[in-house]
Amino acid sequence: MKELFDVTIIGGGPAGLYSAFYSGLRGMKTKILEAQPSLGGKVTLYPEKMIWDAGGQPPVTGAVFAKQLVEQALTFNPAVVLNRKVDFLEKDGNNQFVITTDDGSKHHSKSVILANGGGIITPKRLEIEGASRFEGNNLHYRMPSLKSLHNKVVMISGGGNAAIDWAVELVDIAEKVILVCRKGEAGAHEAQVEKLENSNAVILRNTVIRSLEGAGSHLDEAVLENVWTGEISKERVHHVLVHHGYHQDNSLDTSDNLPMERTEDGFYSGDAQGCTSQEGIFAAGDNISYEGKVNLLVGAFQDAVNAVNSAKNHIDPSAAATALVSSHNEQFDERNKQMIREMLGTV
């Protein structure tokens, strides 16, 4: 027999995770569908980057922040399905949603929250023969721990904002930073480029990595080519970080009776309450556009609350418009008592 959920959240990034927490707070039977092997979304791409602008949260690394988001999301034990890309969304004869994932599984839900951001994000790999054998060791597509790069020779390939930010951050940590940029000028914020140019980093413009050399799975040397002169050079390295951008897959299809209105930029057209053009389908985070939209990480949390409240009222029109605040919500009564007992040492 099919298991029916009150709400199914497509996407396990910040907007999806907070949606899961808040839907649990509202007593909804909840499922998260995530295409990646773990929850956390884009925040996990920058595990060492400091996040300063989350209200009431001291400066925290992306890795810690993502971990806290996941822990919060699992407070009310939602069902979680990982490594499953959503391919198709339709409605059945009972006016309920059927979500089909890439393994052919079907998930049934009374409402849906789209929290899949710009789609499934995977880093663009180096198109170099044999490069894959160094992945997981000292060839990286996301920033590893800063401790592992301390006093090391680090080569960074890329000329966008993320690559330049990485290089600036590592100047005072690594023994030597080498930036390899295919173009003559980096396409990043001028202030960050200026910081890098005024540092002791080595900037190799009009240059690409042609091959990586090393024994087994450990790379030791990068072979470079100047694309203007054809000159070949070699650099001894301890780590190579690659940031050439991302592939984004937002190929979620819907049935003919569920057309979704989108803006010229591809965002779902909606309103501040998380409603899309389709009744019962809501959106939160980077994928929805409406007047007054806050395009910050913290804005995803407000989107999540509004989308969940709209979903709750969709499946139960008699429900309150919002949940009680946590200090008064009966969902936390026993948890609060337990925390007080622990603080008083009476457990």
- 121 has binding-site annotation: yes
Distances in Å between the alpha carbon of 246 and those of 45, 124, 148, 160, 301?
11, 5, 24, 12, 24
Are the C-beta atoms of 68 and 58 separated by less than 8 Å?
no
- 86 has binding-site annotation: yes
- 251 has binding-site annotation: no
Are the C-beta atoms of 323 and 26 separated by less than 8 Å?
yes
- 34 has binding-site annotation: yes
- 342 has binding-site annotation: no
Question: What count of other Cβ atoms lies within 10 Å of the Cβ of residue 196?
Answer: 20
Compute the distance between CA of residue 89 and CA of residue 86 in angstroms, rounded to an integer: 8
Compute the distance between CA of residue 32 and CA of residue 80 in angstroms, rounded to an integer: 5
- 347 has binding-site annotation: no
Compute the distance between CA of residue 174 and CA of residue 170 in angstroms, rounded to an integer: 6
- 327 has binding-site annotation: yes
Which string of DSSP letters, residue by residue, matches 239-279?
A: EEEE---EEEE---EE-TT----B-TTSPEE--TTSB-SST
Three-state secondary structure call for residue 156: strand
Annotated binding site: 34, 42, 46, 86, 121, 286, 327
Annotated binding site for FAD: 34, 42, 46, 86, 121, 286, 327
